[in-house]
Amino acid sequence: GENVEQHPSTLSVQEGDSAVIKCTYSDSASNYFPWYKQELGKGPQLIIDIRSNVGEKKDQRIAVTLNKTAKHFSLHITETQPEDSAVYFCAATVLSGYALNFGKGTSLLVTP
C-alpha cells in the first residue's frame, strides 16, 4: 500500500519567516495530495490540495509543489504568523474519495 513520509517532525520559525514541510510517497498511482492543519484538540482541516496534473498551487501565503518524477510534494508557508502554529499533515491517495494515507505530521511553532 501507499507509504507517506513527512519531514521534519518539528519545525520552529520566527514570525515573518517561511516554513517548508516535505513529504514523499511510494505509490506512483497516487494522484491527489491534500494538506491538513490540526489545532490542539480539534479535527484536521484542509488548507490546500493538489492533483497530479498540476505542479504547483498557491492560496495567499500557502503554496504546494508536486514533483511526480521524484514522488515528493511540499508545503510552503510564507510570512508566518503565530496563528499558523499547529500540526500539519500531508496525505496521498489515488482518488480523494478513498481513504487518505497520512504522514506522521509536523508540529510547527511560530514564535513572535
Partner 1 sequence: DGGITQSPKYLFRKEGQNVTLSCEQNLNHDAMYWYRQDPGQGLRLIYYSQIVNDFQKGDIAEGYSVSREKKESFPLTVTSAQKNPTAFYLCASSPASWGFYEQYFGPGTRLTVT
Contact map string, positions 42 to 81, toward partner 1, x by CB under 8 A: xxxxx--x-x------------------------------
Contacts of 71 (CB under 8 A, 6+ apart): 24, 25, 26, 28
For residue 111, the minimal CB distance to partner 1 (Å) is 22
Q: How does strand 106-111 pair with strand 10-14? A: parallel
Residue from 35, 73, 88, 89 touching partner 1 (CB under 8 A): that is 89
| Length reported for the chain | 112
For residue 88, the minimal CB distance to partner 1 (Å) is 11
Which residues inside 3-22 make contact with partner 1, applying CB under 8 A? 4, 6, 9
How big, in percent rounded to 5, are the helix, strand and coil portions of the chain? 5, 55, 40
What does the alpha-carbon distance between residue 26 and residue 63 come to, in Å, rounded to a whole number? Answer: 22
The contact set with partner 1 (CB under 8 A) reads: 1, 4, 6, 9, 32, 34, 36, 41-46, 49, 51, 89, 95-100, 102-105
